[in-house]
Amino acid sequence: MNTNKKIVLACIDGSALTNAVCDYAAWIAQRVDVPLKLLHTIDHHHEKAANTDLSGNIGMDSREHLLEDMADQEQEQSKIRLQQGKAVLAEAKERVIQSGITNPLTRLQHGSLLESLNDIEQDIRVLVVGARGKQHEDQENEIGAKIDGLIRSLHRPILVAYEAFKAPEQIMIAYDGSEAADKAVDMVATSPLYKGLVCHLVCVGKKDSAETLLKQAASKLRAAGDIEIITASLQGKAEEELCAYQSTHNIDMTIMGAFSHTRLHDILLGSFTHKMLLKTKRPLLLLR
């Protein structure tokens, strides 16, 4: 394996979806022959923000003792978080090794996840994250608070995992003729990740225009070879039709563009990307 290649980066936090994130990252890394790196971040800012300053209305001596106790408590919490982070990485490393990754990289990073990712964005080929972290891991109808921010900020493919790993056999491209959708078609046509899979090319829109778009995109995919192409033109609300199609046709992974509209549009009408993130139960590979 060439370590100069861009990496598949798995962001793990020890939540219920950590194993799925590791498994999807390992699958991608092996299919495209690039290194796999496991990242766990310790965000101390959130911990400090939760502390309330109670020192203003007490005596000087008591205040000094309180501040000392708070400092000791913060130091102890940092040690615990560090130990937990090392344990999470060690367990994840063993899991990807068992999946066939020979030399997984690990990184324990202090600071926010987004800051950490911005620093290494140019080294990332694909980022893999869980749809829910610890805060929402028991809430299947929610997504992690950081997901939208990551997708908006990073210009790298991001795979969002929702459930236990299943090696994809059938994938779907949510195609609308946009630049991001064409990027998805080009990626599927050229990447070894999708060779031998069945690709459903699905467009939701007016029948005549949808079929015209599908014909052009399908032609490019068929020319690439090694991929079976199925096209479908659907009418209705895009997120509802696509999720129904996923279920009916046992789609293992959906590929689509992300946040193609402005923030103002999203505020007024709601983001299609956000709706898909909430409604789907299958992995989403999002492209900017």
Average pLDDT along the chain, 288 residues, taken 10 residues at a time: 76 95 98 96 61 52 66 74 93 97 95 91 96 74 79 92 96 92 93 95 89 92 91 93 96 87 44 88 91
Is 246 within a domain? yes
Is 287 within a domain? no
Angstrom distance (rounded) from CA 64 to CA 67: 5
Count up the domains in the chain and report the number.
Answer: 2
**In a shared domain, residues 135 and 3:** yes
- In contact, 144 and 130? CB cutoff 8 Å: yes
Domain boundary among 165, 180, 212: 165
- In contact, 234 and 245? CB cutoff 8 Å: yes
Candidates 10, 260, 274; CA nearest to 117 is 10
Our measurement of the distance from residue 3's CA atom to the centroid of its chain's CA atoms, rounded to an integer in Å, reads 23
Is 54 within a domain? no
**In a shared domain, residues 150 and 173:** no
**In a shared domain, residues 155 and 174:** no
Q: Supply 51's token pair.
A: 């502390």
pLDDT at 52: 46
**In a shared domain, residues 76 and 215:** no
**In a shared domain, residues 88 and 136:** yes
Is 78 within a domain? yes
Q: Is the pTM of this model over 0.75?
A: yes
**In a shared domain, residues 226 and 147:** no
pLDDT at 50: 44
Task: Give kind and range of the element (H or E) at residue 110.
Answer: strand 105-110
Cα angle value 248/143/232 (rounded, 5°): 25
**In a shared domain, residues 29 and 136:** yes
pLDDT at 286: 93
Tell how many helices (H) and how many strands (E) occur in the chain: 10, 10
pLDDT at 208: 85
The domain that holds 277 is classified in CATH as: 3.40.50.620
Domain boundary among 165, 181, 211: 165
**In a shared domain, residues 151 and 38:** yes
158-161 vs 284-287, strand pairing mode: antiparallel
* Sequence-ordered list of residues with C-beta below 8 angstroms from that of 11, at least 6 positions apart, any chain: 21, 39, 40, 41, 113, 117, 127, 128, 129, 130
- Bridge partners, 171 (sequence order): 199, 253
**In a shared domain, residues 200 and 85:** no
Is 90 within a domain? yes
Our measurement of the distance from residue 207's CA atom to the centroid of its chain's CA atoms, rounded to an integer in Å, reads 32
The DSSP result for 3-35, as a single string, is TTSPEEEEE--SSTTHHHHHHHHHHHHHHHT--
Angstrom distance (rounded) from CA 244 to CA 127: 26
**In a shared domain, residues 145 and 257:** no
Is 288 within a domain? no
Domain boundary among 165, 194, 213: 165
- In contact, 241 and 95? CB cutoff 8 Å: no
**In a shared domain, residues 123 and 152:** yes
- Domain hosting residue 182, numbered range: 168-282
Is 269 within a domain? yes
**In a shared domain, residues 144 and 29:** yes
